[in-house]
Amino acid sequence: MTEAALPEGSWASSPARRRNMQAIKNRDTRPEWLVRRLVHAQGLRYRVAAKPLAHLRRTADMVFRPAKLAVFIDGCYWHGCPQHYVSPKTNPGYWSDKVARNIARDRDTDEQLTRAGWHVLRFWEHESPDDCALQIITAVQRLRTVET
């Protein structure tokens, strides 16, 4: 693709912007990695980027199957953090709609998992990894004692 050409109906304002946005990771981000490292250091084991429910085409960042706990670490931009989300200046209609759809999908995911007997924890990427890990560890321990 040349610098001047964009695919028909592209959401990107330029080829450079398109490459930049496509390079953004959707898993194994630094916030996820930091939290996982802390939880793993406490001896807890989990699945990474796994589907809690087979029929649901959505993955959680961490899944504790025996405890039925799904953990999501949401990016402030992509999931519409009330503290940090700022609508972009370029193509704001597209991006605001996309973030609104992401938020609606997140709520739907929470509802479906809860109805299936799962517990859901959601954190923002800006939250302290130590605090997130502590909440996860506490929840897993609580849920494990409930099952026995």
Query: Domain coordinates of the chain in residue numbers?
Result: 26-147
* Section 114-131 average pLDDT: 98
Could you tell me the CATH superfamily of domain 26-147? VSR Endonuclease (3.40.960.10)
Q: What is the pTM of this model?
A: 0.82
Give the per-residue pLDDT at 2. 46
Q: What is the pLDDT of the chain when averaged over all its residues? A: 88
Contacts of residues 51-55 at CB distance under 8 Å and 24 or more positions apart, as own/partner, are 52/113, 52/116, 52/118, 53/112, 53/113, 53/116, 53/118
Q: Above 60 in pLDDT, residue 104?
A: yes
N- to C-terminal Cα distance for the chain?
A: 58
d(CA 70, CA 123): 11
Q: What is the pLDDT of residue 1?
A: 43
Calculate mean pLDDT across residues 14-23.
62
pLDDT digits 0-9 by tens, 40-88 = 999 999 999 999 999 999 999 999 999 999 999 999 988 999 999 888 8
| Tokens 């992401």 sit on residue | 102
**Would you say residue 16 has pLDDT above 90?**
no
